[in-house]
Amino acid sequence: TLLRALRHLGIGTNAVVHVAQLEDGTIDVAALEAELARDPNHLTIVSLAAGDLNRGAFDSFDACCEIAHKYGAWVHVDGAFGLWASASPRFEHLTKGIERADSWATDAHKWLNVPYDSGLVFVADKEAHRGAMSIPAAYAVDVEGVRDQFEWGPEWSRRARGFPVYAALRSLGRRGMAELVENSCDLAKSLVEQLGELPEVEVLSAPVINQGLVRFLDAGGDHDTFTERIINAINATGEGWFGPTTWRGMRVMRISVCNYRTTQADIDRVVAAFRAALREHSSG
């Protein structure tokens, strides 16, 4: 989505510079400063992750914001699902320093479980936000004393997306939101740990929050094809749905738990389905 946004803005993907990462999937702060120092007067957007798509990694927001702002860069945090970790006393440390960023983005239709599409964007600089979105038009009616939605988003007409978000937050409250996040994380950890006990499973990334990566090992050595086969077999059972991805040149399975209705019984049942699929499809 970030690359698409850059294309929509006319910046293009040729302007993108990928900064080196550390072993845990977070941005290398020293490498970030080295890149910014190459052209300190260039207008730059630094995009950080609150919950990397594959591993759930959180960048070092304090350090990255300190360096980026030293070079005049705008810091954006992509927290599609990971930003909700800040609602949990157990996981809020992962978002330490995020308040120093210039903008955040997250999705309410993921962890909050409201209907698609319910994206949320927060911009620290009110005037920069309004200046980017406001469109003067002779036929538009000026509204004094109230916030005019026309001046804060790309759409002038839209359905009331904010209502289900408000209703969900009002219903859950702080404690309910924290429990939703923590329960999802605990269940993701349980699923990865149980799968990791199976001899045909290699855990590539244990959950930081609610994400994990595993692959399935075939006795014949074609682990990529075997991983795809097991994913398809499990999805066909209806016990769960898992997506494949390529990570470090390997075909792997992404694990993500965020549905409020998921229980430990669901996790145990899907693990049993994995055991059955591995017995059926193994070439050993």
Q: DSSP string covering 191-242, please?
A: HHHHHHTSTTEEEEE--SSSEEEEEE--TTS-HHHHHHHHHHHHHHHTS---
The class that CATH gives domain 2-165 is alpha beta
- 104 forms beta bridges with 77, 122
- Range with the largest mean pLDDT of 114-118, 190-194, 278-282: 190-194
Residue 237 has pLDDT above 80, yes or no: yes
Q: Angle at Cα 131 formed by Cα 125 and Cα 134, nearest 5°?
A: 130
Closest-CA residue to 188 (of 91, 49, 93): 91
Provide the whole-model pTM: 0.91
What does the domain layout of the chain look like in residue ranges?
Answer: 2-165, 174-281
pLDDT recorded at residue 145: 77
Please, is 48 exposed, middle or buried when counting C-beta atoms within 10 Å of its C-beta (0-12, 13-18, 19+)? buried
Q: For residues 268 and 279, what is the distance between their CA atoms, to the nearest angstrom?
A: 17
- Token reading at 99: 């308040």
Contact 213/252 with Cβ under 8 angstroms? yes
**What is the average pLDDT across 61-81?**
96
Work out the pLDDT band at 155, boundaries 50, 70, 90.
confident
Q: How far apart are CA 92 and CA 98, in angstroms?
A: 10
CATH 3.90.1150.170 fits 174-281, yes or no: yes
**Average predicted confidence (pLDDT) for the chain:** 93
Of 44-48, 152-156, 249-253, minimum mean pLDDT range: 152-156
Summarised one tens digit per residue, pLDDT across range 176-191 is 999 999 999 999 999 9
**Per-residue pLDDT averaged across 213-235, rounded?**
96
